Every structure is written in C-alpha cells, then in structure tokens.
Amino acid sequence: MKAIQLRAFGGPETLTCEEIAIPAPGPTDVLVKIACCGVCYLDTILRSGMRSRVSLPRILGHELAGEVVSTGSDVVGFNVGDRVTVFNFQACGECPDCLRGRPSLCGFTKGDIGQTRDGGYAEYAVLPASNLVRLPDGMAMEAACFAACVYGPPYKAIRKVGELRQGQAAVVTGASGGLGLAAIQIVRALGARAIAITSSPNKVQLLKEKGASDVVVSADGNFGDDVRSLTGGRGVDLVIELTGSPTFAGTLRSLAPGGRCAVIGELHGKPISLNLGLLIIKEFRIEGVQSASRDELREILDFMQANHLQPEIWQRMPLEEAAVAHRQLHERNAVGRILLVP
C-alpha cells in the first residue's frame, strides 16, 4: 500500500510517500481501508518534533474515515463493510476518570492514533476497535472524518459548556479555521446568533456566507467593545475561544454577566492576566475543552446528520501531496480543511 512515512522530524519535506506492506490487525484491532483523512494543524506540530510522544517512523493522521476490511479475533460489534470513523486518544477505560465518563482526562492513556501508532495518511490503517464508531446511514465519509477533531470540541463547547439555546449569542474567535467554521454551523443549527472574529478583512464575506450573523475584524484581539456594541451593550452568552492568549482580553470583555468561555485552542502558549474580582462579580465560567469521546462522537455524528452539517473542505489532495498540504497549513493559506484522498 501507499503510505506517507515520517522518518525524521523537520519540515514538510520529511513526509515521504512509500510502498509498504498492508498491516495485519491484532486481536482487538480492525483493518480499515481509508477513504479520506484530514490534515490537522496538530499534524504539522507532530512532524516538527515538538511533541515527544511521537516515535519514528510514524504515519500521521487522526481525522479519518473508511471501510472495515477485516477484524481481529476478539473484535465484536464490527463487520466487514462497516463504514467507520475514529476518535484519536486511546484511554485505558478503567481509571476513575474513564469510569466517570471523562476519558479525555485519562492518566493512563495508551497513546494517540497518528502519534504513538500509525494513522490515516495511508491507503489502509490498523486501528483499535474501541476507537471506532459506525457512521449514520447515508452520511458521507468526507463529513464523518472531521466529526471527532473538527466538530467534536466546538460541539462540546457549545452544547455541554455553553448550554447555548435558541435566541442566545456566541462569539467564535479564529472563526475562519476548520473548527471556527464548524462552530458557526453548530450555533446556527441551534437557532443562536454567531459573531465571528477574524484578523483578515478578506475573510469577512466568506464568514457571512458560512452563517455568521456578524463579523468583527480585529488584528489586535481587542474586539470586546465591538461585540458589546453589536449586542446592545450586554455581551454574549458564550465565547468559543479557538485562539487563546492573543484574543483572551477581548473574550472576557465580550461576555455578558453569567457568560461562559470554552477554551479549545491556544496558539502562543503565553500567560494571560485575569481579574478574579471580575470573575466573581460577573459569575463567569471558564472551562477547557478537548476532543470528543466515543459516546460524544456518536452524538455528534447524529447531530451533523440531522442538521445537514458539512465541513468546509478547502482542497482535496492525493496522498503524495501531503507535504504540500503541510506547507499550506503552515503558511495559513487554507480556509477550512485540507483532505487527503488515497
């Protein structure tokens, strides 16, 4: 089979297309023929060597969907021909956090697909059956492959943390990326108002076309007063924070009393200043959000299908162009997601 191998950390040129043997599934694994695999910004970080958990050689890619080809001897619940997608972290399933329904907090994780075991930059992948979820009937694989990583965190932020309801308002920072566009879709599907924040005037029209009620262009992250003006001085019920420290001051300024902030992304890793008195007086709630669990992924797939949500796919590329895809992500040319199609 064709596979994109990472044999040394570095730039996009370290991704090489090779012919390797199709792997055989272990007793608890499933062999999946990959239909498509998204290129996540995390993949570029892993390729660079900034995450020490990656062992080489490695096949990257955790945003994948495909068809079951064969199953291990101990696998139940999956059959040849099943259409599946995956969530990437391999929780232990036995620790207190797993047992209380918070597997994303597992302290005994077995690793991550595309990091400690091979992922979807290939024609086939061996994946743990415990990480797979069948697709709803009629759902396109090109939508399903983005359910866990792209729609998962915004869905948790909006439904679980924000408890957003019809008629309320939400701010989405970093709105033109894949997660931002997904967040806008989810907000609109719930009958709420999406206010998109972008640093690029060139992306205003696109964001409006994708469902944003209003778009604020802010190069410095100080958009709070603009949001308050748009909401009659009150602020919004929820901010989906996809950028982190560069926009956090604007995020706090945007919140209405009792508002929630769901932090999904942090681009710079810099500390922020927080007035605890303001947090108390306004009864703000700030919560971090990670990827979706298996149960959450099932819920997200059903929500996407019921509301006809489709990811914004910027380009489809063959496997051989994985390095090109990484360069375009690094240069921030993409609006939406890049998809590798074997």
- pLDDT (average), residues 148-165: 95
Examine residue 303 and state whether it is found in any structural domain, yes or no: no
Same structural domain, 134 and 195? no
Structural domain span for residue 198? 150-288
Count of beta carbons in the 10 Å neighbourhood of residue 160: 13
Range of 38-52, 64-78, 199-213 with top mean pLDDT: 64-78
Same structural domain, 125 and 12? yes
Examine residue 301 and state whether it is found in any structural domain, yes or no: no
Residue 52's pLDDT is: 67
Same structural domain, 242 and 331? no
Q: Could you give the CA distance from residue 284 to residue 297 in angstroms, rounded to a whole number? A: 28
Examine residue 295 and state whether it is found in any structural domain, yes or no: no
For residue range 84-102, what is the model confidence (pLDDT) as tens digits? Answer: 999 888 888 888 988 888 8
- pLDDT (average), residues 192-217: 94
Question: Which runs of consecutive H residues, i.e. helices, occur in the chain?
Answer: 41-48, 96-99, 141-144, 152-155, 178-189, 204-209, 224-230, 248-254, 276-282, 294-306, 322-330
For residue range 255-313, what is the model confidence (pLDDT) as tens digits? Answer: 999 999 999 988 777 888 888 999 999 999 999 998 888 889 999 999 999 999 999 89
Q: Residue 335 — very low, low, confident or very high, per pLDDT cuts 50/70/90?
A: confident
Same structural domain, 178 and 279? yes
CATH code of residue 139: 3.90.180.10
Q: Could you give the CA distance from residue 15 to residue 119 in angstroms, rounded to a whole number? A: 14
User: How many structural domains compose the chain?
Assistant: 2
Same structural domain, 191 and 257? yes
Examine residue 302 and state whether it is found in any structural domain, yes or no: no
Same structural domain, 278 and 163? yes
Same structural domain, 104 and 181? no
Residue 109's pLDDT is: 77
Same structural domain, 178 and 248? yes
Q: Could you give the CA distance from residue 87 to residue 113 in angstroms, rounded to a whole number? A: 8
Answer whether 0.85 is exceeded by the pTM. Answer: yes
Residue 7's pLDDT is: 95
Q: Could you give the CA distance from residue 162 to residue 216 in angstroms, rounded to a whole number? A: 21
Same structural domain, 139 and 69? yes
Same structural domain, 196 and 281? yes
